[in-house]
Structure 1
Amino acid sequence: MTFIERRAARVLLIDAAERTLLLHGSDPARPEQHWWFTPGGGLAEGETPAQGAARELHEETGLKVAPEDLGAPVHHETAEFSYDSRQYRQHQHFFLYRVAEWQVDTAGFDTEEQRTITDHRWWSTAELAASAEQIYPIDLADLLRRVR
């Protein structure tokens, strides 16, 4: 199997109630399958992980954060997945960022995000651990317990 190699950055956005924001979406090639995931995405050419994470966070939630305010990544992983009939190997950095509260604004969605992201929700760690829904990254509740 041939993979498209991709670099990405994601944000663990946590509010004052210790809830984490996740987006809900699907794959255009498999619209019947849905999952929850952290804000973030692929890095543009020449973009650092912090720059990409800040850009994606603004596009997907409306929250504008300076890349340097994200600090150092708290987690790294490589994920292999299929999206739109292509296979990806994504090397991704996760940043942790806290807000008192935030009202998500999706006006910055690009065409692909408008087509595939259908909802958002703030989740407690207990809700994440108990959920039977597909949530990425896998074992997000454990990751949150480790990095807080």
Structure 2
Amino acid sequence: MRHEPTRRTVARVLPVTRDGRVLLLLGCDPALPETQYWFTIGGATDEGESLAEAGARELREETGIAVEPADLGEPFGTYEVEFSWDGRDYVNDSTLFAVALDETPVSFEGLDLLESQSIFDAQWWTPEELDSQGGAVDPRLVDHMRAAIAHVREGAA
């Protein structure tokens, strides 16, 4: 019997360096650990939490990088994605934030148990590097990276 997917409101954060590199995470669906892919930082909002608060919290939990919600500024895009993760179906209504950062070391100390079994690495990528390497979970990821870089550069101008 198929269940209705869980619909979630999600904040995704793309940290961007001055030279146009974006921090991504390497992970897998725990139900399919042999298939690894690159994806953006982020997750669902908690009750009463704004999108910017969720984005800042997820960035800290998933990478150890602390920013204030206000540092995320205005979102630069939205999209919907349907997927399965750990045997459950989801529909995410995702809002994209970009934040200017220096290339910063990442810590996975804030991951919960399931995340620690499904997030393995972090790397700063240019869109061109990721596009030539492949391995993105969502084919829109390279376009999101380009839009995040443009958004950060427009904000710095």
Structure-2-length-normalised TM-score: 0.87
Aligned partner letter, 2:41 = P
* Unaligned segments of structure 2, at least 5 residues: 151-157
Q: 1:25 aligns with which of 22, 27, 47?
A: 27
Change (3 A) 1:103 1:36: same
Which blocks of at least 5 consecutive residues in structure 1 are unaligned? none
Tell me the CA shift for residue 137 of structure 1. 4.1
How many residue pairs get aligned? The number is: 147
Letter in 2 for 1:145: R
**Equivalent position of 2:146 in the other structure:** 145
- 2:91 maps to what in 1? 89
Q: Partners in 2 of 1:58 and 1:145 — Cα distance?
A: 23
After TM superposition, give the deviation of residue 23 of structure 1 in Å: 0.5
How big is each residue's C-alpha offset from its partner over 1:20-62, in whole Å with a ceiling of 9 and x where there is no partner? 1111111111111111111111111111110000000011111
> Does structure 2 retain, via aligned residues, the 8 Å contact 1:4–1:89?
yes
Q: Give the distance between the partners of 1:145 and 1:60, measured in 2 at CA.
A: 22
Q: Which residue of 2 aligns with 1:45?
A: 47
Once superposed, which parts of structure 1, at least 4 consecutive aligned residues long, lie more than 4 Å away? Answer: none
Structure 1 residue aligned with 2:121: 119
How big is the shift at 1:117?
A: 0.5
Identity %: 40
Matched letter for residue 66 of structure 2: K
**What is the CA distance between 1:136 and its match in structure 2?**
4.1
What does residue 154 of structure 2 align with?
none
- The residue identity in structure 1 corresponding to 2:139 is I
Q: What RMSD in Å do the two structures reach over aligned CA positions?
A: 1.4
When structure 1 is superposed on structure 2, of 50-59 and 8-17 the one drifting more is: 8-17
Q: Superposed, which structure 2 residues align to 1:100-139 within 5 Å?
A: 100-133=102-135, 135-139=136-140
Check the 8 A contact 2:15/2:98 in 1, yes or no.
yes
Q: What CA distance in whole angstroms lies between the structure 2 residues aligned with 1:146 and 1:57?
A: 19
What is the distance in 2 between the residues matched to 1:57 and 1:143? 17
Kept in 1: contact 2:39–2:141 (CA 8 A): no
- In the alignment, the residues of structure 1 paired with residue 78 and residue 138 of structure 2 have an alpha-carbon distance, to the nearest angstrom, of 11
| TM-score w.r.t. length of structure 1 | 0.92
